[in-house]
């Protein structure tokens, strides 16, 4: 029995209503902050800044643009690997991210940047909004090809909301450090997406559908996504670190960790194949695990060799996950994880949280200097010892997981409602359901 996948009124209505809501809420709440408004000239003096170059724009805009590329081209093209779902991969990712950043500016604004009834935004808010949406892109990878664009929009609305609250609990209540988002972005995003996938389980999917695979050229498109994610991850993890050595160090650590995970990914990919051949799935994904896993500790004194070790481990764990764990999750646990987000974001995210907790617990004044320690961990040493800070860091992992499981369950149940227009099993991973695709394309193939 074919499902009704007609989007003609559902999708336009949801897009219009939500965009109009954004306009109204932005009109009431959102204004420029002191660095983006005309009072910058005055504000500069209060900060003892002598030059316009000290505007936060110049500290963070290049990193912001790299993050922006990761969200739209990185995640977007990473999801074009399916043979007949390239439009949906890159196109729905585009849609969800464009909506998500607006809602994230509001949610994060109310929770973090609210003053005198207004949300004051600048370049840091744009980065944070992109970060928040990154977690939705991750979750989208789990359900890729099996949901309608309306479901994607609904998931985005709820996930951005939950992300922002979880982030608020971690950063403002637990006072956890997580500048690159191992916990808030990756752990939360992945387990949220996996929970939704679990609820949306399609028991007969694999029997009825033979489109869940890649083509030669779709794998090359996907590598565009992989490489832009890989190259710009140092910017991701350093984008909102504190000025100076904080940003500098986060970039170096991420660079090292990523380089290391490429080698172990290649090693394991070859080792687990009978003929020793490399798998594009592994290269496209597991090479990135090193970046996920230094999201928390990237700006800490992880040291370059510490970063190499983290990347070394994550390349192995992630590749083994793709080879052995994903099939088990699909067959035994009803989790049909299209992009393998558990292997790329789930496990490495948790590892990243643990690495952050251990690194924080091991912090000493000898290593950080007294001033540096306070800069890195504002509550240390006055209110917390480093080990207590480490404990709070670890707690952040569990809070993120709890938000993911509870939130994912609720959102999954909402998405199961029968009128959102999701495709039947036969039509999963098929662009022609939601996109105009030329039928004569085969005859002029190149």
- Min dist CB 121 to a copy of itself, Å, is 6
Peptide bond into 346 cis (omega under 30): no
From 31-39, 197-205, 341-349, 393-401, span contacting a copy of itself (CB under 8 A) = 31-39
d(CA 200, CA 180): 30
Q: Name the 3-class secondary structure at 32.
A: strand
- Min dist CB 171 to a copy of itself, Å, is 21
Between 36 and 174, whose beta carbon lies closer to a copy of itself?
36
From 81-89, 136-144, 160-168, 352-360, span contacting a copy of itself (CB under 8 A) = 81-89
Q: Name the 3-class secondary structure at 323.
A: helix
Q: Which of 260, 259, 265, 237 is nearest to 250 (CA)?
A: 237
- Min dist CB 67 to a copy of itself, Å, is 10
Question: Considering only residues 295-334, where is the footprint of a copy of itself by CB under 8 A?
Answer: 301, 303-305, 308-309, 312
Q: Residue 342 interacts with a copy of itself (CB under 8 A)?
A: no
Starting at the edge strand found earlier in the chain, the sheet holding 114-115 runs 30-32, 118-121, 114-115
Between 152 and 190, whose beta carbon lies closer to a copy of itself?
152
d(CA 84, CA 188): 29
Q: Residue 436 interacts with a copy of itself (CB under 8 A)?
A: yes
Per-residue interface string for the shown chain with a copy of itself, residues 198-237, x marking contact by CB under 8 A:
---------------xxxxx-xxx-xx--xx-xxx-xx--
Please report, in angstroms and rounded to a whole number, the separation of the first and last CA atoms in the chain: 35
Could you please report the per-residue DSSP string of 181-210?
-IIIIIIHHHHHHHHHHHHT--TTHHHH--
Q: Which residues pair with residue 121 across a beta bridge?
A: 32
- Min dist CB 443 to a copy of itself, Å, is 10
Of 131, 191, 198, 434, the one binding a copy of itself by CB under 8 A? 434
Q: Which of 385, 112, 67, 20 is nearest to 247 (CA)?
A: 67
Of 78, 82, 101, 317, the one binding a copy of itself by CB under 8 A? 101
Between 144 and 190, whose beta carbon lies closer to a copy of itself?
144
How many residues at the interface with a copy of itself, by CB under 8 A?
143
Question: Considering only residues 349-378, where is the footprint of a copy of itself by CB under 8 A?
Answer: 367-369, 371-373, 375-376
In this structure, the strands spanning 30-32 and 118-121 are parallel
Of 149, 346, 356, 396, the one binding a copy of itself by CB under 8 A? 149
Of 84, 112, 202, 334, the one binding a copy of itself by CB under 8 A? 84
| HSE of 16, CA atoms in CB hemisphere, 13 A | 6
Question: Considering only residues 118-137, where is the footprint of a copy of itself by CB under 8 A?
Answer: 121-123, 126
d(CA 311, CA 251): 14
From 68-76, 160-168, 169-177, 327-335, span contacting a copy of itself (CB under 8 A) = 68-76
Could you please report the per-residue DSSP string of 379-402?
TTTTT--HHHHHHHHHHHHHHHHH
Question: Considering only residues 254-273, where is the footprint of a copy of itself by CB under 8 A?
Answer: 255-256, 258-260, 262-264, 266-268, 270-271, 273
d(CA 344, CA 321): 9
Per-residue interface string for the shown chain with a copy of itself, residues 389-418, x marking contact by CB under 8 A:
------------------------------
Q: Residue 276 interacts with a copy of itself (CB under 8 A)?
A: yes
């Amino acid at each position: 029995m074919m499902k009704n996948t007609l989007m003609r009124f559902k999708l336009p209505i949801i897009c219009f209503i939500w965009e109009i809501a954004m306009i109204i809420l932005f009109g009431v709440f959102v204004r420029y902050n002191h660095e983006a408004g005309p009072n910058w000239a005055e504000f500069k003096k209060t900060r003892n800044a002598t030059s316009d170059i000290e505007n936060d724009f110049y500290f963070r805009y290049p990193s912001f643009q790299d993050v922006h590329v990761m969200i739209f081209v990185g995640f977007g093209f990473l999801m074009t690997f399916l043979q007949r779902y390239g439009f949906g991969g890159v196109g729905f990712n585009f849609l969800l991210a464009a909506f998500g950043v607006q809602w994230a500016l509001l949610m994060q604004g109310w929770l973090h940047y609210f003053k005198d009834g207004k949300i004051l935004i600048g370049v840091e808010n744009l980065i944070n909004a992109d970060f928040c949406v990154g977690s939705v892109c991750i979750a989208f990878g789990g359900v890729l090809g099996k949901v309608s664009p309306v479901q994607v929009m609904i998931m985005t609305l709820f996930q951005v909301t939950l992300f922002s609250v979880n982030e608020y609990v971690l950063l403002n209540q637990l006072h956890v450090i997580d500048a690159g988002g191992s916990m808030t972005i990756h752990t939360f995003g992945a387990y949220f997406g996996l929970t939704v996938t679990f609820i949306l389980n399609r028991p007969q999917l694999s029997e009825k559908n033979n489109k869940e695979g890649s083509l030669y050229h779709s794998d090359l498109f996907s590598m565009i996504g992989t490489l832009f994610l890989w190259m710009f991850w140092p910017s991701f993890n350093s984008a909102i670190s504190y000025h100076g050595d904080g940003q500098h160090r986060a970039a170096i650590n991420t660079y090292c960790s990523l380089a290391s995970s490429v080698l172990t990914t290649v090693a394991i990919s070859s080792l687990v194949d009978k003929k020793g051949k490399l798998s594009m799935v592994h290269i496209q994904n597991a090479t990135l695990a090193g970046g996920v896993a230094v999201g928390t500790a990237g700006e800490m004194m992880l040291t370059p060799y510490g970063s190499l070790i983290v990347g070394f481990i994550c390349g192995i764990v992630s590749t083994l996950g793709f080879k052995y764990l994903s099939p088990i999750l699909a067959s035994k646990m009803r989790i049909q994880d299209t992009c393998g987000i558990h292997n790329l974001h789930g496990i490495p995210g948790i590892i990243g949280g643990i690495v952050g907790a251990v690194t924080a617990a091991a912090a000493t004044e000898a290593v950080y200097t007294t001033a540096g320690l306070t800069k890195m961990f504002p509550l240390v040493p006055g209110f917390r010892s480093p080990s207590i800070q480490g404990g709070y860091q670890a707690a952040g992992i569990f809070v993120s997981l709890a938000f993911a499981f509870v939130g994912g369950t609720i959102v999954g149940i909402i998405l199961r409602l029968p009128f959102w227009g999701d495709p039947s099993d036969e039509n999963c991973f098929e662009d022609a359901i939601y996109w105009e695709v030329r039928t004569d394309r085969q005859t002029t193939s190149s």
